[in-house]
Amino acid sequence: MSQVIIAGDTSGTITLQAPAVSGSTTLTLPAATGTVMVSGNMPAFSAYANNSQTISAGTFTKVQVNTEEFDTNSNYDNATNYRFTPTVAGYYQVNGQTNATSTSTLTRIIPAIYKNGSGYKYGTDITATDARSSVSSLVYLNGSTDYIEYYVLLSGTGTLSTAITAVLDNYFQAAMIRSA
């Protein structure tokens, strides 16, 4: 019969020891300050736009990223506000990408992460005729009122829009990487 020995001391260190065929196997967990995270309480989502969206020239417009690939804690609204409002405070890796096109001439794409309704980080400013551009940033969210959204600015002539050729074209995603 196999047994596991759990030992602790006043330092906060926990040691798990299991007998092995020759000797023993020991795992020591050092003392941790603050919240110790486990995968069950680290919100994450990934979503993509499943149709094109017309974008007004020269103004940042919220991208309607409406199809969830996953949403581990039901914190992403993919139907109304297209925003992520996590219920766990911490630091989140946030990514977004836009593939844009125009019926005439596309001259500029700037993707942006918005926090609480205001611009927070801009992505790569691309001047091209048909291109993809992305943004990525680490964002602190307080777990109650903070939220993030994905916006894009397009410039050019003709009808400007997000282009849909595959689920990989226009996406928005975030994952908690560390607690507050």
Per-residue pLDDT tens for 120-146? Answer: 999 999 887 668 899 999 999 999 999
Are 97 and 125 part of one and the same domain? yes
Backbone φ and ψ of 129, nearest 5°: -90, -25
Are 98 and 58 part of one and the same domain? yes
**Domain assignment of residue 66, yes or no:** yes
Are 12 and 49 part of one and the same domain? no
> Which tokens in the block code for residue 114?
């918005």
**Domain assignment of residue 38, yes or no:** no
Q: What is the mean pLDDT of residues 83-97?
A: 97
**Domain assignment of residue 78, yes or no:** yes
pTM over the 0.85 mark: no
pLDDT attached to residue 131: 81
**Domain assignment of residue 116, yes or no:** yes
**Which domain, by its residues, includes 147?**
44-179
Digit-coded pLDDT (tens) for 104-119:
999 999 999 999 999 9
Are 169 and 86 part of one and the same domain? yes
- List 133's β-bridge partners, or say none: 98
6: enclosing H helix or E strand: strand 5-8
List the single range of 12-21, 83-92, 110-119, 148-157 with lowest mean pLDDT. Answer: 12-21
pLDDT at 148 over 90: yes
